[in-house]
Amino acid sequence: MLLSGPELLKAETRSVVVRAQVRGGPVPAVVLKHFRDDLTCGLDDWAGAEFLTRRGMETGPRFLAGDVDARLFVMEDLGRGPTLEALLRGEDARAANAGLMATARLTGQLHARTLGSQSEYELVRQALPPRHERVRVENARFLLDHEGRLLRWLTAVDVKAAPGLSEDLEAVARALADPGPFLSFTHGDMAPSNVLFTPSGPRLLDFEYAGMRHAMYDALMWLVSVPFPDELVSRADITYRITLSADCEAAQVDSHWARARATVALARTVNLFQWLHPRVLEEDRDWAPGFSARTALLHHLARSRALLVPADGFPGLARTLETLEARLRERWTVTPFVWPAFRQEDR
């Protein structure tokens, strides 16, 4: 098999991605990914693609081959097509709506078909240079180890932690480390730019943060992380829940569903305060294209508060974040971010 016509797709610090045409091979083109700086992310990416390929799932590109020493693996080329981000930045609201619903359905299918497949995934991941700790344990540990970063925000705006804050953080961390019936294979970085629409349907790209963790971690994209109209968030949530419920009994129980959503939403909201420094109080900064850090913080706080209402849990953490939100809204006036595809609807 000979490769020709290399086309550079991405050249970031973490990895280099190249498309090449195949001469005399079983596929017309392949994508080669060289991970140069972060071995763990590179091997998690490799393991995710190989795991899904072994299960016969068409969630992402098929894994074809790899060389650990070269820090390189090869996948099928999914071809060209718009990403979900491109649809959101376009002018067709119906296409953007349909794109998000298709993404929620694909995500539900991914989780439903990999529920409880920890052992099978570990056989793939640990056959590579092994991971010293499972990704969900890393997520839980980070939440607890950096509680002080949340506290420095409270100090900066003269807010006191509500009683029970530390205990609630521990409860959230335990749920992240042991998701019970919600344990599933997750993409781990469900950004709109990582959803590609191909002639065969939506596919997920870049599994660098993939692993077995709480299924709702991927649902954070529409629940908390990315701003969407409320009606669209509700539709995506219902679409995802119906798809996942086919194989997950816990998803069929309202109380379990509400608590699961609240748990991951709270974790991500606290994470954002752990990632961002209180310097944002004095000077805003970019968080995503067209989306500032202040806008992101207030959006996360509002969304997690909305998801807590039916969950009836984590009172110490909930009160702390509500007070923090009130204090930040006293200081900041921000314009909510609206994707171009939905701006026409707001007029």
Domain ranges of the chain: 2-76, 84-346
Of residues 14 and 91, more confidence is placed in 91
pLDDT at 346 over 60: no
Is-contact 324 162, C-beta < 8 A?
no
pLDDT at 309 over 90: no
Is-contact 286 293, C-beta < 8 A?
yes
Pick the CATH number of 84-346 from 3.90.1200.10, 2.30.110.10, 2.160.10.10, 3.40.190.10: 3.90.1200.10
On the CB side of 52, CA atoms within 13 Å amount to: 30
Is-contact 292 285, C-beta < 8 A?
yes
Is-contact 50 68, C-beta < 8 A?
no
Q: What's this model's pTM, rounded to 2 decimal places?
A: 0.93
Q: Amino acid letter at 301?
A: L
Q: Which of 65-79, 175-189, 307-321, 324-338 has the lowest mean pLDDT?
A: 307-321
User: Among residues 92, 84, 103, which one has the least CA distance to residue 343?
Assistant: 92
Q: For residue 118, what pLDDT band results from cuts at 50, 70 and 90? A: very high
Q: For residue 3, what pLDDT band results from cuts at 50, 70 and 90? A: confident
Of residues 28 and 161, more confidence is placed in 161
C-alpha to C-alpha distance for 188 and 325, rounded to whole angstroms = 27
C-alpha to C-alpha distance for 176 and 105, rounded to whole angstroms = 23
- Structure tokens that stand for 69 in this block: 């020493």
- Nearest-10 crossing angle of helices 315-331, 165-177: 110
Q: In whole angstroms, how far apart are CA 263 and each of 16, 171, 218, 258?
A: 35, 9, 13, 9
Of residues 211 and 313, more confidence is placed in 211
Of residues 336 and 204, more confidence is placed in 204
The pLDDT, as a whole number, for residue 259 is 93
Neighbour tally for 291: CB within 10 Å: 16
Hey, do 2-76 and 84-346 end up sharing a CATH topology, with the first three levels equal?
A: no
The pLDDT, as a whole number, for residue 25 is 72
- Structure tokens that stand for 215 in this block: 């299924």
Q: Which of 18-32, 40-54, 305-319 has the lowest mean pLDDT?
A: 305-319
Query: What residues does 20 pair with on adjacent strands?
Result: 30
Neighbour tally for 317: CB within 10 Å: 27
Q: Which of 127-131, 188-192, 342-346 has the lowest mean pLDDT?
A: 342-346
pLDDT, averaged across the chain: 94
Q: Answer whether CATH 3.30.200.20 is correct for domain 2-76.
A: yes
Strands (E) in the chain, as ranges, are 2-11, 15-23, 29-35, 63-67, 72-76, 183-186, 195-198, 201-204, 211-214, 286-288, 291-292
The pLDDT, as a whole number, for residue 347 is 47
Report pLDDT digits (tens) over 221-261: 999 999 999 999 999 999 999 999 999 999 999 999 999 99
Q: For residue 345, what pLDDT band results from cuts at 50, 70 and 90? A: low
In degrees, to the nearest 5, what angle opens at C-alpha 208 toward C-alphas 297 and 172? Answer: 45
Q: For residue 66, what pLDDT band results from cuts at 50, 70 and 90? A: very high
Q: Which of 141-155, 176-190, 332-346 has the lowest mean pLDDT?
A: 332-346
**Strand, coil or helix: what is 165?**
helix
